[in-house]
Amino acid sequence: MKSGFYSSKRFRYGSAATVFTCAFIAVVVIFNIIFTALATRYLWYIDMTKESVFTLSDAAKEILSDIDAEINIYFCSEPDNLMNGTNGTWAKYVYNTARQLEAEFPNIHVTCKDIVKNRAFFERFRSTAATNIYTTSVILESGTEVRVFALQAFFVQNEDETIWAYQGEKKLISGILQVTSAELPIVYFTSEHGENLGSGAAALVTLFGDNGFDVRSINLAKEEIDEDARIIIVNDPVYDFIGTEADDESSNEIAKLDRFLDRFGCLYVFTSPDHAARLNNLSELLEEWGIAFTPDTYVVDADHAISTDGLSVVAQYDKETLGSSIYKDLTDNLDTLPKTISRYTMPIEILWEEGGGLSGSRMVSPVITSYDTSRAMRNNETVGRGSYNLMTISRETRIINNEYYYTYVIVSGSANFANSNYLLSNAYANADIISAAMKATGRDKILADIEFKVFDKTKLDITTAQSNHWSVALVTVLPAAAAVVGLVIWVRRKNS
């Protein structure tokens, strides 16, 4: 038998060690490939961001829990492109949320098809939705109903178009509610008083629709308020509401509003300084809630306005008040707050702060105010200086069977507060203020309960102790395991 290096123990055991090392590395690589594929398929990851950007919220799950219709969510690109492609930076957020919805609900299905390669598949959506479809579009379908969303719709931008927050949950669920025609809480816009119900109210109507409301108009003199109604909007009325002068009780609009509020409905009023003097009956109703108009008077602030005439007043956010609780999430999440604009605004007077109403359980608070550099003007003359209430809120609290129930009345002195110029611009917080106010509309879950996720807060949020535990695991456990394997090999070689 030949002897030499190739037949020596050194070669044999060295070869075995080399083969073992190569096999071990191969196993590790294969394990990582398989685990990565399974993690992608079954969403195996831990969301360690403070705002839970990558986690489906409990509010989202609750809203969708009663919907059993089959729902399809289509992405117009392949999964790899959504996660890592040109638009992967943002598309992956929406795709991950859709995948979580699919994992949570058996009736929701996610499909990815490249629209460039499968144009014929998307033709039916073009004809149904009457809109353009791009590689970044997201399509929701249930039965014959279709909604097409642009990628930008799932994010919140500031005035320089910088994306600073994610609202994918709300947008996807809003689309699901629309295509499934789920039973929605009703919001009414009053009519027949010269209200602005045309293009000027379109953005406000869209805002309520996006937040999961069934938007309707109502002629209170002829129609009854549905039991499912949660909010009534009075948007810039020119003429007064019918009160005790009504020919019969069925046409008494003020009485209907009063009964609506008595059963925990909520009233939003947007008014103009030019029309307030005519609204005597509506004014009397609001005064019972501690709120009063200041007719023919408007606020000007040359130091805090976005217009040269000083009428587009930049609002001041209050702190530690009932009104400030509306936008607490907004002020808590952002270091620099977006501007809320109130143009051509009548000061709203607070008659009393608390103790009002028959039960003494009503309290009134500002929502937003002007800065103390502002002036109150009437007939182009200054009639006062200081900070004025631009929007107020009144709340009545009742306890029934040891549970709290609330009624809200919110009044803005500006008919332009809900103008499309402000609601459709991500540079302003007007839409956020109204959306946040929807959370106060009662006991039904609505999409306003789903908050956007601020990217400024997406850094890892773990304690020092948790960090130390992870460091110990990575620095000691894995090397120790490798050392044990090496020791076993060394001992076996030595004893052979």
Q: What is the rounded average pLDDT of the residues 9-24?
A: 62
Residue 159 and residue 34 share a domain: no
For residues 113 and 233, membership in a common domain is answered with: no
One-letter identity of residue 200: G
| 135 plus 30 within the same structural domain | no
47 within some domain: no
Q: Residue 464: pLDDT above 90?
A: no
pLDDT of res. 435: 83
The pLDDT tens digits of the residues spanning 183-220 come to 678 999 999 999 988 877 888 998 888 777 889 999 99
Name the helix (H) or strand (E) containing 207: helix 202-210
Q: Is the pLDDT of residue 144 over 70?
A: yes
Instruction: Please give the average per-residue pLDDT across 131-156, as a whole number.
Output: 86
How many residues appear in the chain? 496
**What tens digit of pLDDT does each residue of 47-87 get?**
555 555 567 888 888 888 888 899 999 999 999 888 887 66
Residue tagged 């294969």 (tokens): 30
Confidence tier at 457 by pLDDT (50, 70, 90): very low
User: What's the structural domain count of the chain?
Assistant: 4
Which comes out higher in pLDDT, residue 415 or 4? 415
What pLDDT, on the 0 to 100 scale, is given for residue 65?
Answer: 86
Q: Sign of torsion, CA 89 158 422 442? A: positive
Residue 419 lies in a domain: yes
Indicate if 392 and 276 belong to the same structural domain: yes
In a domain, 253, yes or no: yes
* Range with the poorest average pLDDT among 63-67, 106-110, 224-228: 63-67
Answer with the residue of higher pLDDT: 45 or 149: 149
Q: What is the pLDDT of residue 325?
A: 81
Question: pLDDT tens digits for 315-330?
Answer: 999 878 888 887 776 6
Of 234, 235, 216, residue with least CA distance to 225: 216
**What SS3 class is residue 382?**
strand
Q: Is the pTM of this model over 0.75?
A: no
Task: Kindly state whether residue 212 falls inside one of the protein's structural domains.
Answer: yes
Residues 151 and 93 in one domain: yes
Average pLDDT for the chain: 82
Q: Where are the beta strands (DSSP E) in 85-213?
A: 108-112, 138-142, 145-149, 155-157, 163-166, 186-190
125 and 159 housed in the same domain? yes
pLDDT confidence tier of residue 22, bands split at 50, 70 and 90: confident
Domain of 141, in residue numbers: 58-179
Phi-psi bin for 201: left (phi > 0), alpha (psi -120 to 50), beta? alpha
Q: Which residues of 27-59 are buried (b: 16+ CB within 10 A; e: fewer)?
A: eeeeeeeeeeeeeeeeeeeeeebbbebbbbbeb
Residue 50 lies in a domain: no
Q: Looking at the domain assignment, is residue 138 inside a domain?
A: yes
Domain assignment of residue 450, yes or no: no
10 pLDDT more than 70 = no
With a cut of 50, say whether residue 474 has pLDDT above it.
yes
Using pLDDT thresholds of 50, 70 and 90, give the confidence band for residue 458: very low
pLDDT-wise least confident of 167-171, 250-254, 434-438, 443-447: 443-447
| Residue 416 and residue 330 in one domain | yes
Q: CB of 192 within 8 A of CB of 219?
A: yes
pLDDT at position 475: 63
Q: What is the pLDDT of residue 90?
A: 87
Pairing of strands 186-190, 214-218: parallel
Residue the block writes with tokens 């106060």: 440
The encoded tokens of residue 40 equal 């992608």
As a whole number of angstroms, the distance between CA 354 and CA 28 comes to 68
- Quick one: 383 and 485 in the same domain? no
Q: For the chain, how big is the Rg over CA atoms in Å? A: 30
| Residues 198 and 79 reside in one and the same domain | no
Query: CATH number, domain at 436?
Result: 3.40.50.880
Residue 124 lies in a domain: yes
Sheet holding 298-300, edge to edge: 298-300, 375-378, 381-385
Report helix, strand or coil for 31: helix
- Do residues 269 and 285 lie in contact, with contact meaning Cβ atoms separated by under 8 Å? no
pLDDT of residue 13: 56
- Whether residues 380 and 256 share a domain: the answer is yes
